[in-house]
Structure 1
């Protein structure tokens, strides 16, 4: 399987980036994970023609081609970062590659909660009509005290969290396999969902 791992921040010192790179190496025998940055994406500005910038299109194409997406989110003020929200807004407003795409959410934080509130908020966002991602249910990977969690080689040193991450990742692989097979058989109209418009929905609701 091929997954895209999205670093949910533009911070150079992010432990969420370290977490994704650890996952890439640790699960190399189970899946290929390409870690993608959002640093180069411009702030969302709602282009009239809905054409994404080249950097957004590049990320979108990678998501389209992947079997699933892993988003590593920190927690800023009880929510996700402005940079991640902007990246998601670009995708939802233009190409909509996350529709029916399987998503696993993980998160690391300097405190003890491991980005739990940000992860809950991200789940709500990804359920919006313009996104409609298939989010892995009943599974959270929360890495607290992340500043001390990695050694000089980038390995996660909390053995209990490594075991927990192993279980979560195996569940995600199964979730992706079953969900993609279901989507294939049920023939959900992904392309029609990509054309969703609030204006059209409002007009139809007024009839």
Structure 2
């Protein structure tokens, strides 16, 4: 059984992105183990001179290292991923590199009708950066619009077409994870390159 880390890309206590991940954890429990991870308590990234990474960030990095893949659920603020999520990714690429060649599935929920399409596109660019180098599952947007009305009182998705798409994409992600395990011939070089990034000159 696959083990996934699911990052809640919001610091809101009432985030529908958290609800979406909580639903996935329950609904796909027979297929995979999903561990929800919060990022809202991470300090603001400030590129510390002593290169000290906060314990909360290293704990998340260790979970990602041990996981088969990562699921990130992002809101959309101003056509972009939220600052709290970008802050987390900055810590997770500052002298620690858990995302190198790690399979990632991006999803998102928003109150509007378009879901989080622009935030997801932005997040793909960030995760593909030289400091992160994640392997993002291609052609796999899951956009949950009108998310305040998307769940019933038990936290289940009510739109069966959306559920069918999420189920298909989650199955595809598991296949993507298995395929990615075979695409590891440059992993050692990739890790050396990110370790050699000179943050003092960035």
The TM-score, its normalising length taken from structure 1, stands at: 0.92
Q: Shift in Å at residue 40 of structure 1? A: 1.1
Q: Counterpart of 1:93 in 2: which secondary structure?
A: coil
Q: Does the 8 A contact of 2:10 with 2:84 survive in 1?
A: yes
List structure 1 segments (4+ residues) > 4 angstroms apart after TM superposition.
Answer: 198-202
The TM-score, its normalising length taken from structure 2, stands at: 0.95
In the TM superposition, what are the counterparts of 1:60-71 in structure 2 within 5 Å? Answer: 60-71=61-72
CA RMSD of aligned residues (A): 1.6
User: How many residues in Structure 1 have an aligned counterpart in Structure 2?
Assistant: 200
Q: Does the 8 A contact of 2:130 with 2:194 survive in 1?
A: no
Question: 186-195 vs 17-26, which deviates more?
Answer: 186-195
Q: Counterpart of 1:32 in 2: which secondary structure?
A: strand
Question: 107-116 vs 193-202, which deviates more?
Answer: 193-202
Question: Which residue of structure 2 lines up, in the alignment, with residue 88 of structure 1?
Answer: 89
Instruction: State the distance in 1 between where 2:163 and 2:196 align.
Output: 40
Q: Does the 8 A contact of 1:6 with 1:72 survive in 2?
A: yes
Instruction: State the distance in 2 between where 1:51 and 1:69 align.
Output: 24
Q: Shift in Å at residue 3 of structure 1? A: 0.2
- Structure 1: gaps (5+ residues): 203-207
In the TM superposition, what are the counterparts of 1:113-124 in structure 2 within 5 Å? Answer: 113-124=114-125
Instruction: State the distance in 1 between where 2:128 and 2:183 align.
Output: 18
Instruction: State the distance in 2 between where 1:84 and 1:200 align.
Output: 23
Question: Which residue of structure 2 lines up, in the alignment, with residue 15 of structure 1?
Answer: 16
- Structure 2: gaps (5+ residues): none
